[in-house]
Structure 1
Amino acid sequence: METRLRDTERRMMTALEMVNMRVSYQVDVRSRESSEFHSRHHDAQTDRAAVRAEIEVLRRERLAYEQESIQTRQDLARSEAHCRALEARVTVLETEVRRHEWQRQAADDLAVQYIMRTQALEAGARVDTLEDTG
């Protein structure tokens, strides 16, 4: 009986050791899985933080480009307004040039008329002088 008791005790001890080994193995596996999960979780958080930082940089760059675009459009609008003002001034100056050309032409025409009258008067005076001398 004592031998049977010892055999039973040995089998129980062996069975307990097997259970302990299985539990130890499962704890080790779970521990490694947990560690890997935490590692992956940490990596994912780091990646997420890096992506958020990059998004923030891109948002700031987009805002800067939008502000530059607004400034460029304002500069363009001012430039176009200045160009229209210059074109209007050119039109006024061209009109003045044409008026001065007409005035000059009128003055030239008047000068020709006076020259012709003067020549006619001189011719008439010569005729009168010749008649008086003759």
Structure 2
Amino acid sequence: MNYAKISPKIMNPLYKCYDEIQKCELDQSLILLVEMRTSQINGCAYCCRLHAEMGRKLGIEEEKLDKLPGWFNSRIYNQKEVLALEWCEALTIGLRDKDLNDLRERLEELFSEKELVDLTSAISVMNALNRMAISIGDNN
């Protein structure tokens, strides 16, 4: 289903937001990891395949891509990646307010305000795109 053709006034700004996230100051590998993890959690097969291909093109270590579903049991991810993946899971699965506040405080120690907004936007937009693909059809 071509979402942009069917509802361009809604979908084009969402795609534009996605494109802008890809150009932000955050490390593109970090963005890709959280987008891929969001897609894994949501079960979006199309998006998982797409992000795996993009990760390889970006030069992300194959081991990082392979171990992403169990990132919390791996030492391959750096401190920023671990916190970003925790944030990804918190926003995608949901955490109680207190736990979310505690995690945000830890994020604020390593990420600037802009980086935190960009990271949160990347996760939020990917959740929206995943849900579109899963609920009304993907592009594969």
More helix by share: 1
Category of TM-score, reference length = shorter chain: under 0.3
TM-score normalised according to structure 2 size? 0.19
Higher RCO (C-alpha 8 Å, min separation 6): 2
TM-score normalised according to structure 1 size? 0.19
